[in-house]
Amino acid sequence: MVDLSTEYLGLKLKNPLIAGSSGLSATAKGVREYEEKGAAAVVLKSIFEEEIMYEYEDILREASQEGVNMDQFDYYDFELKSGKIKKYTDLIEECKKSVSIPVIASINCVYSHEWTSFAKQLEEAGADALELHMFFLPSEFERTTEEKEKAYFQIIEKVLKEVSIPMALKISYYFSNLGPMIQNLSNTGIAGLVLFNRFYSPDFDIEKLEVVSSNVFSNPSDVTISLRWIGIMAERVNCDLAASTGVHDGAALIKQILAGANAVQVVSALYKHGKGHIATMLNTLEEWMKKKGFNSLSDFRGKLSQAKSSNPAVYERVQFMKYFGGAS
């Protein structure tokens, strides 16, 4: 019998597969189903400060059109925000009563002072850990690269002062110098980094001449980005690493652990194949370990990372040289 257990953010997990943040983890019922199907932990659907702001702005527009006295809306702003957070903390409390696996709360804020306020309340509700979704789009021209990157460290410092539960940071790969940025973030005191956020990209409808959404879900080829950077950063960071995006089957799960991931988050594959796909992926992992003679994840975690590679350049320019440089 092979041992699939691992540790992530200081939490003991029965296996490396975590159900990532999505609409599938927006209810206690959904979280219970995840536990029943074999997930080792669940990241709850994120609470987005932007959603609260947009709802408030919609109400303001309607009120102004109807001639409502606007002086009352400072109070309504407080009530709206408090109501959304209360609903989320209630979800955490209900999940903690319903499941034995770790429940990781997820927040995404716009203003730095809100990160600490939200994080503290989610800790008090009983979350086992926090996942901060942070990103500043490269298309945002109002701030310089230095200002955007500095904001990450400022927010992390503020949140860490307020909470005692472990905290992970989920980031994008839109940085001017990604490797050192990941390394520096790992030195802030956070417990883990999730690589990477996935952004929805636009597409064009050439018949209607409209901008439309491209694929909502990831596809298996997307795994290569996080696979590469998990492999490069393994043993070069001072926190745990979780892989995210493009993990659709057991083979991709195995690859991320070989690269050095402590845990792997899955979402799109569960939308496409159902939560029962968790067992399929874990069975693939278990059978592969038996075939290769591995008794635990530590026997092969990071085995193919850049730090352990006999040819580190394989992570960088080999493909280019092979396919476009005339190399045989």
pLDDT at 172: 92
The candidate with the shortest Cα–Cα distance to 227, out of 321, 311, 302, is 302
Mean pLDDT in order along the chain per 10 residues (328 residues): 97 98 97 98 85 46 49 52 86 98 89 78 97 80 87 93 96 93 98 90 91 86 95 97 97 98 98 98 98 98 92 67 56
d(Cα 212, Cα 201) in Å, to the nearest integer? 9
Tokens of 62: 């309607």
d(Cα 78, Cα 88) in Å, to the nearest integer? 16
d(Cα 135, Cα 78) in Å, to the nearest integer? 25
- pLDDT per residue as tens digits for the range 150-203: 989 999 999 999 999 999 999 999 898 999 999 999 999 999 999 998 877 788
Question: Structure pTM?
Answer: 0.88
Q: What residue has token string 């540790």? A: 7
pLDDT at 226: 97
Domains identified in the chain and CATH numbers: 6-302 (3.20.20.70)
d(Cα 18, Cα 34) in Å, to the nearest integer? 9
- Helix H, strand E, coil C: the string for 194-235 is EECCCCCCEEEECCCCEEEECCCCCCHHHHHHHHHHHHHHCC
Q: How far out from the chain centre does Cα 222 lie?
A: 15
Query: Within 13 Å and on the Cβ side, how many CA atoms surround 61?
Result: 6
Q: How far out from the chain centre does Cα 231 lie?
A: 17
Contacts of 126 (CB under 8 A, 6+ apart): 92, 93, 96, 103
Burial class (CB in 10 A: 0-12, 13-18, 19+), 66: exposed
DSSP letter string, 64-91: HHTT--GGGHHHHHHHHHHHHHHHHHHH
